[in-house]
Amino acid sequence: MLSLKSVSISILILLNLGFSSTVFADPALRVCTTGDYPPLSSYDAKTQTYQGFAISIARQFGKYLNRQVVFVPSTWSNMNKDLQTKCDIAMGGITNTPGRAALFNLSENILPNHKAPIFSNMNNIHFKNFVDIDKKEITIIENKGGTNEPFAKTHIINAAIKILPENAQVYACLNKYPNRKYVMFTDAIEIEYRSNQPGSILSNKGIKFKDIPNDPESYKIYMTNKTDEGKILIDAMNKFHQSHPKKFKQWYQASLHLNYPQTKVSCPF
């Protein structure tokens, strides 16, 4: 728990940034994150620690506000509820969407991104574009919650769609059955990371597909509750982002080279 002096310093920082003198109810900065999305948010069960780009930003932001950072584990399907009941801010692989903007305060755009397919290198010969993927003999596997599931359900017409509870389970299946025509639609950021891991059998060819429907550039953001404290906090994050553009780029590049733990989950089929 932070001291009264630390809380006072935090308030002074906010006053200097042009914010009101509203006192945060809890001096700790509670950050909801999924921990299943390297290089943005990854949880190591052995050390019980988080790492990744969003994790680095959270820690630096905590220092900026002089608030202790506490990470709260969440899932994509429970993210909205967890943010409203357990956290001050949600950070990780969160995409800017109209639905989220209606419910929460969103930060400025942090990282550019777009949806793309990831599949095994063995499937490079079969998949050259989106049309090759949306066929009856293909199976699309997605994690429940987040933006991958609705993207697939909106744009896939012919291929079968299978939904799994966890993001890591989808990758377990892609790796377990490299000779099967399995595909996942996810973020280009994640595809670039996953396909470049040592010994990876996954392809990044899908990032360059030009015929993916209704897939304009999207952005990763952070979000807070629509409360007075939430508004103050997201404004502080935006000012932090604006005042550290080079640092944000450096922290992202550093996150690409961290040694992330391999989540031990199995494909459920």
According to the model, what pLDDT value does residue 3 have?
Answer: 45
According to the model, what pLDDT value does residue 226 have?
Answer: 98
Residue 58 belongs to some domain of the structure:
yes
With a CB cutoff of 8 Å and minimum separation 6, the contacts of 248 are: 57, 110, 241
Same domain for 50 and 149? no
Same domain for 227 and 179? no
d(Cα 158, Cα 172) in Å, to the nearest integer? 24
Residue-by-residue pLDDT tens, the chain, 269 positions: 444 444 444 444 454 554 433 445 568 999 999 998 899 999 999 999 999 999 999 999 999 999 999 999 999 989 999 999 999 999 999 999 999 999 999 999 999 999 999 999 999 999 999 999 999 999 999 999 888 999 999 999 999 999 999 998 999 999 999 999 999 999 999 999 999 888 999 999 999 999 998 766 889 999 999 999 999 999 999 999 999 999 999 999 899 888 888 767 899 99
- Per the structure, the complete domain to which residue 222 belongs is given by 4-112+218-255
Q: Give the H or E element holding residue 99.
A: helix 98-103
Written as six digits, the tokens of 219 are 């952005």
Same domain for 36 and 60? yes
Same domain for 227 and 166? no
Same domain for 41 and 14? yes
According to the model, what pLDDT value does residue 8 have?
Answer: 42
Same domain for 152 and 174? yes
Count of structural domains within the chain? 2
- What sign has the CA pseudo-torsion 196, 202, 204, 205? positive
Q: Is the pTM of this model over 0.75?
A: no
Same domain for 89 and 104? yes
According to the model, what pLDDT value does residue 26 have?
Answer: 62
Same domain for 130 and 98? no
Residue 43 belongs to some domain of the structure:
yes
Same domain for 76 and 9? yes
10 Å CB burial of residue 120 (0-12, 13-18, 19+) is buried
Residue 266 belongs to some domain of the structure:
no
Residue 190 belongs to some domain of the structure:
yes
Residue 262 belongs to some domain of the structure:
no
Same domain for 19 and 43? yes
Q: Any idea what the CATH number is for the domain that residue 131 is in?
A: 3.40.190.10
